[in-house]
Amino acid sequence: MKHNQIRSRLHAGYQAYDQGQYQEAKQHGITVLALDAGAVEAHFLVGLASVELGDWGTARKAFGTVLGLDQKHARSWVYLARTLLMTGEHADALASAENAEKLGLINAQDFDSLGVIYAHLNQHEKALQQYDQALKLKDQSAIIHVNKASSQTFLGQSEAAIDSLNQALKIDPAHAKAHWMLARSQKATSEEDLDPIKETLKASNSPQDVAMLAYGLGKLYEDLGAWDQAFTTYEKGANAKKAFVSYDAAGEAQYFQAQMKAWTREHVESVCRQNDQQESPIFIVGQPRTGTTLVERILAAHSEVTAAGELPYVAMLANQFRSAPKAFGEAYLNCARPLRGQTRLFIDKLPENYQHLGLLATAFPKARFIHVKRHPMDSCFSMYKQLFAESYPYSYDFEDLARHYAHYQGLMDHWHNVLPDRILDLAYEDLVRDVEGSARCLLDHVGLDWQEACASPHRTEGTVATASALQVREKAHTKSIGVWQRFEKDLQPLYTQLNQLNIKGL
């Protein structure tokens, strides 16, 4: 009787999971475990549902229990890897993913999930192998083709990525992410090129889909030089995105003030004297869309440098180790190990790390910081017309953008006073006008000898896991300088607000 009850509950639980009823699915699993604490599939169900609910602690415990009962449960290794990825334990996530791969998978969804995990760990070649396995089992899955296109883009396989996106749209002509990625991957040459995405946008009601489609369409209008239509469409996308993000300007201002109060020049110098840490990561900071990826590519062309990408660890560890910089540095290096490569130096290019330069400077007394700047209007507009995944919630509203930019500029002024010799300011405009001169300046700042490869960053091998993945594979150009002026009429409110806040450089 108990066996039948367990089987019935598990069936109902997995059915609820398949229908997106994750809380109900989790409860079914818990009920089964009350009857049989060793029911492997019940623990697995609880883990699956917890992943979808964002309950990472329960998910980790559930998958750990499954693997304690059955170490060869390949699917649990996949979802444990996903859980560890979300909690920032990337070394353990990689080990779990590799365990799943060794044991072998038989389900297209699991191959796809493993591909996504490898992609997040910046191992896109491995990710492609998993997507190919998934497509052998389920070639009519649009999302797998889209995920494959993402890794192909990061690897510089532009034509292959376009093929994958077109395949996704054959399967699902209304797939918003495929339309958005395709718009970013190729230039429109005529109005007819816009018809598929325009028709899809007209029929879409989901705010998430509207945001992706509008940002994609805005970029295509910009390709055609239709500035008014481009701005109107970007604005539509920004308004849609604003519906599901939140920016706390007052909270940000308070946090930045606390940073300035805590990290004085005297305090930083005192803590640095007590820390014998010899590692010296290179941190590239600033605002997004200012040329940080180009700087990363210049430095990564050097034989002694690895580009580790935009690592999430600084903010993740900052609160835990704020009063213990040396312990923070050790924890940070441990997290970064799977991505930092074998070279003497590695780059962390997360722009938002500018918020934590006091902690970083004391954790790594020999580290150098590169702050990439851009004309405030070009910087703000470039953010406004870029659809970000989860970061930069202030970028979809002019008032939010202006207030954030003022906070950022004020905090950077403070860091320059605290760290007078450790921050190199590099203007985007100077960078693209004189790549070699900028490269020599960058290498000098981080203590590296000149190598010719650094003058040709568009030829640098390796993945580019940012919104600039396509642009930085082109030779540097000055076409993006002053782009905001094409939209000057529509951007006047933003200019006025920045001017009222006394933003430098307008």
Q: Read off the pLDDT of residues 152-193 as tens digits, 9 standing for 90 and up.
A: 999 989 999 999 999 999 999 999 999 999 999 999 999 999
Q: What is the pLDDT of residue 471?
A: 56
- Map tokens 């699991």 to a residue: 110
Q: Which helix (H) or strand (E) holds 335?
A: helix 325-336
Q: Give me the residues of the chain with pLDDT under 70, please.
A: 1, 461-474
- 42, 66 in Cβ contact below 8 A? no
Query: Per the structure block, which two tokens stand in for 489?
Result: 């009429």
- The strand pair at 423-427 and 345-348 is best described as unpaired
Q: Reduce the DSSP state of residue 187 to 3 states and report it.
A: coil
> What are the φ and ψ backbone dihedral angles of 329, each rounded to 5 degrees?
-60, -40
What DSSP string runs through 313-325? HHHHHHHHHTT-H
Q: Which residues lie closer than 8 Å to 22 by C-beta, 6 or more apart?
A: 16, 49, 52, 53
Query: Per the structure block, which two tokens stand in for 216?
Result: 């994609």
- 410, 323 in Cβ contact below 8 A? no
Q: Reduce the DSSP state of residue 205 to 3 states and report it.
A: coil
- 116, 100 in Cβ contact below 8 A? no
Read off the DSSP letter of residue 156: T
The secondary structure of the chain in percent helix, strand, coil, rounded to multiples of 5, reads: 70, 5, 30
What DSSP string runs through 80-130? HHHHHHHTT-HHHHHHHHHHHHHH----HHHHHHHHHHHHHTT-HHHHHHH
d(CA 496, CA 498): 6
The set of long-range contacts for 12-19, using a CB threshold of 8 Å and a minimum separation of 24, is: 13/42, 13/45, 13/49, 14/45, 17/45, 17/48, 17/49, 17/52
**What are the Cα distances from residue 312, in Å, to 46, 89, 290, 317, 332?**
27, 10, 19, 9, 10
Taking residue 448's Cβ as centre, other Cβ atoms within 10 Å add up to 18
d(CA 480, CA 378): 8
Tell me the CATH number for domain 258-500: 3.40.50.300
Return the closest-CA partner of residue 67 out of 30, 37, 40: 40
Return the closest-CA partner of residue 59 out of 37, 80, 40: 80
Read off the DSSP letter of residue 476: P
Q: What is the pLDDT of residue 88?
A: 83
Q: Reduce the DSSP state of residue 264 to 3 states and report it.
A: coil
Strand partners, 427: 373
- 328, 279 in Cβ contact below 8 A? no
Amino acid at 117: I
- 65, 43 in Cβ contact below 8 A? yes
Q: Which residues lie closer than 8 Å to 209 by C-beta, 6 or more apart?
A: 176
d(CA 28, CA 32): 6
Query: Per the structure block, which two tokens stand in for 392?
Result: 């930069």
Return the closest-CA partner of residue 33 out of 57, 53, 61: 61
